[in-house]
Amino acid sequence: MAFSLRILALTALVQAGALLFGTMAMAQYTPVPPRGIGAALDVGDQPGLVPPADDEVDMDPAYRRQPVYFRTSEPAGTIIISTNDRFLYLVEGNNRALRYGIGVGRDGFTWQGLVKVVRKAEWPDWTPPAEMIQRQPYLPRFMAGGPGNPMGARALYLGGTVYRIHGTNQPDTIGYAVSSGCFRLVNSEVIDLYNRVPVGTKVIVRQAVEL
Amino acid sequence: MKTLLTLLAGATLALSAHGAGAQTLKAVKDRGELNCGVSRGLPGFSQPDAKGTWTGFDVDFCRAVAAAVLNDPAKVKFVPLSADDRFPALQNSAIDVLSRNSTWTLEREAKLNLLFGPITYYDGQGFLVPNSRKVLSALELDGSKVCVQSGTTAVGYTEDFFKTNTMKLELVTVPTSEEMVKAYEDGRCDTLTTDVSQLFALRLVMKKPADHIVLPDVISKEPLGPVVRQGDDQWFNIVKWTHYAMLNAEELGVTQANIEAALKSQKPDVKRLVGNEGNYGEQLGLTKDYAVRIVKAVGNYGEVYERNVGTGSKLAIPRGINQLWNLGGIQYAPPAR
């Protein structure tokens, strides 16, 4: 399940090892903390990483798309994102919703309220914003859409913000807050969501309560 | 004179009633340990490990009460009880509180002289189907072959539900839950039905759990919660407000991790919860910071749920109807003020 994370940790170790000791025989990897409420993960974007096919198959069942009981006064078709417990709900009416597991941004994203889907794109290109380049200088300035692109298979652009709902090339970051990014779903599920919602869909973003 | 005597008798009665009423809290404090009745072993709800350490959703409720009353979540004697033994154990005072996935019904309260609630877990009968059926709602189950455990209330509920919604039903009754899974995997039925929490547990033992889905529809009411004896209102209040403290903590964003920060919060609701404003804990017969001790010991309601039966557990039961009232569910605590 944590395949690409292991890869990342290994890569980092090997790089550090190569630098310091020439070679590195350590086969260890950073233990992955449990997912869920408040869970965060210290992992950067990995442009160019193509996730192994079984990564999505091994996905934690709690974060797979599933119909759930959901009571709301919002009309069917509305998307409600609960950043605190890492779920995106597509309201279906009659006290039910489709629930998708998501990964959320960790730094600085405290905005909450109502936006709309203003644009949809398949295999979107990626232009990391300046703040991200500053945090992760190794990122490319532009990357064309494709399987190794951190934007993943589909993107729903949220009007008036720099944020979007998109796919990922790191399926095992679902269930966590990660160092950057907006709302990420695994590719198979963002494709499913993309096919269900039109441009103009209402998106409500909820944040954790502040003390 | 007669009036005076009546008055005196009345006062004595009132005093003794109050005296009897306050016994459980005093008894627990004197004993230094809470006697908590739990299930003998139910994944996610109460289970002992090899070393005899109990964990689970119902177990954490016992620990929360112990933290509130005795300032130590470890001071609990877990009393494993069968379904038949659970209510007598409460009636004969072998336990102080029963926290054993017990359904609240009229008869159990009125006839057995017990008090139920609050509802810590809303369970109910649901359906499990293979993903390959592409079914997302129980109303799409027309013509299903449904496996159900014989002798359970699920049989009648299933028949009623299909009849009410004009769907054709083929019932396949099997004697045990293990055989229910086998019959389903052998293709003798294409749908499983029992309580939702149980469906998630059964899914775990299937060959490919990810190939099956539990539908969100719940067709019966199984409200589960702690139970106490009648006649001790103070103790009943303590049990109720233990659950409400956990719910209010979640609603206010107070967690095990940020409890120290919560103690410095300037928000009035948070200040009341953690005991920095008012003396609400003392009104219950506890101390002002009883809610802080609960959250430190087991976390807020959401944390307890996710750790034992939700995203942090193998069961992975969605919060669903047990989500907070303002986030899509019906878990609702009165204000702590």
What DSSP letter does each residue of B153-167 carry, written as one string?
THHHHHHHHHHHTT-
pLDDT of residue A180: 66
Does residue B336 lie in a domain region?
A: no
The tally of domains found in chain B comes to: 2
Tokens representing residue A141 in the block: 């300035």
- Mean pLDDT, residues B135-157 taken together: 94
Rounded distance between C-alpha atoms, residue B215 and residue B126, angstroms: 7
Residue contact A35–B312, C-beta within 8 A? yes
**Rounded Cα distance, A88 and A64, in Å:** 11
pLDDT at A3 over 60: no
Of residues A81, A41, A50, the one with CA closest to residue A152:
A50
Q: Judge if B190 and B130 occupy the same domain.
A: yes
**Domain membership flag for residue B10:** no
Question: For a pLDDT cut of 90, what percent of chain B falls above it?
Answer: 86
- The verdict on residue B59 lying in a domain is yes
* Domain-ending residue, one of B192, B222, B252: B222
> Looking at residue B299, which CATH number applies to its domain?
3.40.190.10
Using an 8 Å CB-CB cutoff, list residues of chain B that contact chain A.
Answer: 136-137, 209-210, 213-218, 251-255, 257-258, 261-262, 265, 267, 270, 302-303, 306, 310-312, 316, 318-321, 323, 327-330
Structural domain contains residue A34: no
| Enclosing domain of residue B137 | 123-222
In terms of domains, do B127 and B218 share one? yes
Looking at residue B22, what is its pLDDT?
60
Q: Quick one: pLDDT at residue A133?
A: 86
Q: Per the CB < 8 Å rule, is A211 touching B209?
A: no
pLDDT at residue A188 tops 90: yes
- My answer on whether B210 and B257 are in the same domain is no
Instruction: Give chain B's mean pLDDT.
Output: 92
pLDDT tens digit string along B210-256?
Answer: 899 999 999 999 999 999 999 999 999 999 999 999 999 999 999 99
d(CA B167, CA B162): 5
pLDDT at residue A8, rounded to an integer: 44
For residues A75 and A93, the answer to whether their CB atoms sit within 8 Å is yes
Residue, of B2 and A14, whose pLDDT is higher: B2
**pLDDT beyond 60 at B121:** yes
Q: Phi and psi (nearest 5°) for B222?
A: -130, 80
How much is the average pLDDT of B76-89?
Answer: 95
Is A137 among the domain residues?
Answer: yes
pLDDT for the residue numbered B262: 97
User: In terms of domains, do B112 and B251 share one?
Assistant: yes
Give B-chain residues touching A61 at CB under 8 angstroms.
209-210, 316
In a domain, A6, yes or no: no
Q: Is the peptide bond before B223 cis (omega within 30 degrees of 0)?
A: no
What's the pLDDT band for A55 if we cut at 50, 70, 90?
A: low
Same domain membership, residue B213 and residue B72: no
CA geometry: angle at A119 spanning A101 and A102, to 5°? 10
For residues B83 and B43, the answer to whether their CB atoms sit within 8 Å is: no
Residue B16 has pLDDT above 70, yes or no: no
Cα–chain center distance at A107: 13
Q: Is residue B103 part of a domain?
A: yes
Average pLDDT, chain A: 82
For residue B56, give the nearest of B245, B333, B324, B307 by alpha carbon: B307
Bridge partners (DSSP) of residue B37 are B79, B98
What mean pLDDT do residues A12-34 have?
A: 45
Per-residue model confidence (pLDDT) at position A107: 63
Which tops the pLDDT comparison, A51 or B292? B292
Residue A18 has pLDDT above 50, yes or no: no
In a domain, A59, yes or no: yes
Question: Average pLDDT in the A164-183 region?
Answer: 86
Q: What pLDDT sits at residue A48?
A: 85
Q: Which of A69, A85, A99 sits opposite B321 (nearest CB)?
A: A69
Amino acid at A162: V
Overall residue count recorded for chain A in this entry:
211
Whether the CB-CB separation of B259 and B296 falls below 8 Å is answered with yes
Q: Searching chain A, which residue's CA lies closest to the CA of residue B301?
A: A37
pLDDT value, residue A10 = 37
- Label residue B153 by pLDDT band (50, 70, 90): confident
* Helical (H) or strand (E) element with B79: strand B76-81
- Please report, as a single letter, which amino acid is at residue B87: F
* A174-196: average pLDDT: 89
The predicted pLDDT at position A198 comes to: 98
Domain assignment present for B194: yes
Q: How many domains does chain A have?
A: 1
Instruction: Tell me whether residue A62 is in a domain.
Output: yes
**Whether residues B148 and B212 fall in one domain:** yes
Confirm whether A52 is domain-assigned: yes
Element (H, E) at B234: helix B233-251
Residue B19 has pLDDT above 50, yes or no: no
Q: Which residue has the tokens 């020439």?
A: A22
Catalytically annotated residues of A: 166, 182
CB B198 within 8 A of CB B177: yes
- Which residues constitute the domain of residue A117? 39-206
Instruction: Tell whether the model's pLDDT for residue A17 goes beyond 50.
Output: no
Contact yes or no for A211 and B270 at CB 8 A:
yes
Q: Look at residue B129 and tell me if it is in a domain.
A: yes
pLDDT of residue B135: 93
Instruction: Give the CATH number, domain containing residue A112.
Output: 2.40.440.10
Q: Between residues A16 and B205, which one has the greater pLDDT?
A: B205
Q: How much is the pLDDT for A61?
A: 81
Nearest CB among B215, B252, B262 relative to A67 is that of B215
Residues from chain A that touch B216, judged by Cβ atoms under 8 A, are 66-70, 96
Tell me the pLDDT band of B306, cut-offs 50, 70 and 90.
very high
Give A164 or B145, the one with higher predicted confidence: B145
Cα Rg of chain A, angstroms: 17
Of B204, B222, B240, the residue at which a domain comes to its end is: B222
| Shortest Cα distance, chain B CAs vs residue A18, angstroms | 37
Which residues in chain B have Cβ-Cβ distances shorter than 8 Å to A69? 216, 218, 318, 320-321, 328-329
CA dist A51 and A148 (Å) reads 8
Helices B301-308 & B57-70, crossing angle to 10 degrees? Answer: 140
Q: Inter-axis angle of helices B233-251 and B301-308, to 10 degrees?
A: 80
Q: What is the per-residue pLDDT for A14?
A: 37
The answer, yes or no, to whether residue B177 has pLDDT greater than 60, is: yes
From A61-70, A127-136, B78-87, the region with the lowest mean pLDDT: A127-136
Is B146's pLDDT higher than 80?
yes
* pLDDT tier for residue A25 given thresholds of 50, 70 and 90: very low
